[in-house]
Structure 1
Amino acid sequence: MNNKEKMIELDGAIGEGGGQILRSALTLSMITGQAFRINNIRANRPKPGLMRQHLVAVQAAAQICNAEIGDAGIGAQLLEFVPQKIKGGDYQFAIGSAGSCTLVLQTVLPALLFADKESNIRISGGTHNPMAPPVQFLQRAYGKVLEKMGASIDIQLKRFGFYPAGGGEVLAQIQPCSQLRQISLMERGERESAFAESFIAGVAANVAKRELECVGNGMGWDESQLLVRGLPAEQGPGNVLLLTLEYQHVTEVFCAFGEKMLRAEAVAKNAIQQARHYLASGAAVGEYLADQLMLPMALAGGGKFTTSQISEHAKTNAAVIKKFLPVDISFAENGSCHTCTISNQ
């Protein structure tokens, strides 16, 4: 491959050692034009190397910027990625399993903001599984922040895809954005709405009712805030409980999944605990949104936010971002929450 001597070298075993290292590297490589080599891909996972969803993310990124990727395949722990210019247009990617559509979309979406024209992406696979953010998180939480930064995106969930069957479908329309705006998310602002949704497909209706009853009791919400969302049985079996908190400046989405041998009350308790932790912190954004905000803020040249928790995932992501962009990313404790500051060097 060309430009090997200029490649950014990454160790996939650093920090939490998961797929986020690869995904952030792909995004930033596409945008900056810098080639990279990554060893020890997902070294800290039970099944190291590229899984199906990671390989599709690599292939999607390569197609969008006509990159050289060598012999990338399932289980590979080494990847070299040499990008060319980002091309907008119509793209279709099939994961072929319950592998996450949202993680593939999060890999290519920021890059397509820097494309030469509008892009339309169709991704099929898993839309709701415990190891990835649900589509509603991208629509309501991540998407709201990107729009504040000047991006114009539209994400549509066409069909749910639960683990292990998959079969879901997500569409995204992305307009070019020459420069993202710097923003500061230090406070949530006034609460505008709060509601819970229990989505069920091929699962008894009383599961949703029990989950929502627990949420009502645990959060002090009334019936108008507790919504059963029945889905066609062929999209299941599956169950996901979503708690959405909409504020003036930010929206947060917390989720918990129904599983075999797991009581509906336990699912509800999981979601309630996440929401309560966020509420008690007083922070603007929760742990998972914090992880995803650093990259677009770094692309904007700076930004600042308060968060309920700085995860190992976030620290690892910050280390990767700093390999590609001339930014400083600092974390500071601020009473019951933390402050993350991104600034140009």
Structure 2
Amino acid sequence: MNTKKDSELLLDGSQGEGGGQILRSALALSMLSGRPFRLTKIRAGRSKPGLMRQHLACVRAAALVGNAQVEGAEIGSTEIGFRPGTIRGGQFEFKVGSAGSTMLVLQTVLPALLRADAPSRISIEGGTHNMLAPTSDFIADAFLPLLARMGAQVQMTVERHGFFPAGGGLVHVEVRPGPLQPLHLHERGASTGLEAIALLRSLPQHIGERELEIAARRLPLTASARRDLSAGFGPGNALVLKASYANVTEIVVGLGEHGLSAESVAENACRELRSYLAHGAPVGEHLSDQLLLPLLLAGGGSFVTGRPSSHLETNVAVIHAFGAAQVSIAPDQGNPQQHFRVSLET
């Protein structure tokens, strides 16, 4: 890995996806490489530019894990400087505040913790089910099993679910550092089931039943269930769709919100999953950008996905900017019209 530890890398936060992805990837890569960076124009194109609460939580978490010196770590800041030290394991507690995503904080620090000098146990309080962020279901059932196949030892427990706007979710994650093996994921393998689970807290049961009814109409389900969550912070609802295969699992989550009918929640989630089922590639849109840093830790790997998302392309650009690896995205020979092979080499 080309670290260039003495030179500060300048990154433009308005490029590519233009949101928090650049920040999170840069924090992770900086900790792994030891190279400091300065990020300007943070979320410049958003209606509220600069660091929001969940982005600030990611910066503060990375600063603790990476023993880093940080400039500009405050709400609304459009520029930060981050100078990492030595990654350390141990016990950490991170509070995002409100319903900010716990999973985005985990996504930021997990690569470094897999390279730490000791095992870690982290507790993160905030949202577990957020718009525009991976949910705890996705991380638990789609992402972490692939890390386990690569050799990672990561265990996650959801003590409380946290929904917008109250938040209050609480997750615990145990990480044992160690080497990872490359992953080559080119085919889904045989189907092993298609499930729908309706999560409800402090809401009428008929909401979940209506969502499951729509899912049963739109998808060839092999199982469905309603899960009533224990008391927590405010009401919440999510429809979790789980498509399992021999080599990969795809998770799609529809989130209930005020003013959106149960039928609309289910229809939207089913439409997204049906798109995944139709294109046939093993790696879905949201999993594709999240696999790059584990492949980097493993020293290489490849996977086949559908049309590249802006998040995937942004992650590739940040990896190249750090000189951490070479990543190529090219039409896959098996289905060049719909499938793309992503390969990473260090």
Shared fold, TM over 0.5? yes
CA gap of 1:110–1:5, structure 2 versus 1, over 3 A, is closer
Number of residues of Structure 1 aligned to a counterpart in Structure 2: 339
Equivalent residue number for residue 300 of structure 1: 298
Equivalent residue number for residue 277 of structure 1: 275
Partner-residue secondary structure (3-state), 1:6: coil
Partner-residue secondary structure (3-state), 2:225: strand
Equivalent residue number for residue 184 of structure 1: 184
Q: 1:324 aligns with which of 322, 329, 332?
A: 322
Query: How much does 1:4 deviate?
Result: 9.6
**Letter of the 2:342 counterpart:** C
Equivalent residue number for residue 221 of structure 2: 221
CA–CA separation in structure 2 for the residues paired with 1:54 and 1:36: 16
Equivalent residue number for residue 37 of structure 2: 36
Query: How much does 1:158 deviate?
Result: 0.6
**Partner deviation per Cα, 1:285-334 (whole Å, 9 max, x = no partner):** 10000011112112322211111231111111110011224422122232
Equivalent residue number for residue 164 of structure 2: 163
Q: For residues 222-237 of structure 1, what are the structure 2 equivalents within 5 Å?
A: 225-237=223-235
CA–CA separation in structure 2 for the residues paired with 1:100 and 1:123: 9
Query: How much does 1:336 deviate?
Result: 2.3
Equivalent residue number for residue 267 of structure 1: 265
Partner-residue secondary structure (3-state), 2:203: coil
Equivalent residue number for residue 240 of structure 1: 238
Partner-residue secondary structure (3-state), 1:28: helix
Contact 1:298 1:325 in 2 (8 A): no
CA–CA separation in structure 1 for the residues paired with 2:288 and 2:104: 16
Contact 2:161 2:232 in 1 (8 A): no
Q: TM-score, normalised by structure 2?
A: 0.95
Contact 1:201 1:235 in 2 (8 A): no
Equivalent residue number for residue 123 of structure 1: 124
Contact 2:5 2:34 in 1 (8 A): no
CA–CA separation in structure 1 for the residues paired with 2:234 and 2:263: 20
Partner-residue secondary structure (3-state), 2:291: helix
CA–CA separation in structure 2 for the residues paired with 1:125 and 1:33: 29
Query: How much does 1:130 deviate?
Result: 1.2
CA–CA separation in structure 1 for the residues paired with 2:220 and 2:277: 13
Q: For residues 102-181 of structure 1, what are the structure 2 equivalents within 5 Å?
A: 102-177=103-178, 179-181=179-181
**Letter of the 1:171 counterpart:** H
Contact 2:68 2:84 in 1 (8 A): yes
Partner-residue secondary structure (3-state), 1:211: helix
Query: How much does 1:229 deviate?
Result: 0.7
**Letter of the 1:8 counterpart:** L
Moved more, 301-310 or 14-23: 301-310
CA–CA separation in structure 2 for the residues paired with 1:193 and 1:123: 31
Equivalent residue number for residue 82 of structure 1: 83
Q: Which consecutive unaligned segments of at least 5 residues does structure 1 have?
A: none
**Partner deviation per Cα, 1:87-109 (whole Å, 9 max, x = no partner):** 10000011121000000011001
Query: How much does 1:217 deviate?
Result: 1.1
Percent identity at matched positions? 47
CA–CA separation in structure 2 for the residues paired with 1:328 and 1:38: 22
Instruction: Give yes or no for the alignment of 1:335 onto 2:337.
Output: yes
Equivalent residue number for residue 70 of structure 2: 69
Q: TM-score, normalised by structure 1?
A: 0.95
CA–CA separation in structure 2 for the residues paired with 1:308 and 1:4: 36
Partner-residue secondary structure (3-state), 1:87: coil
**Partner deviation per Cα, 1:42-72 (whole Å, 9 max, x = no partner):** 1121111111111111111111121000241
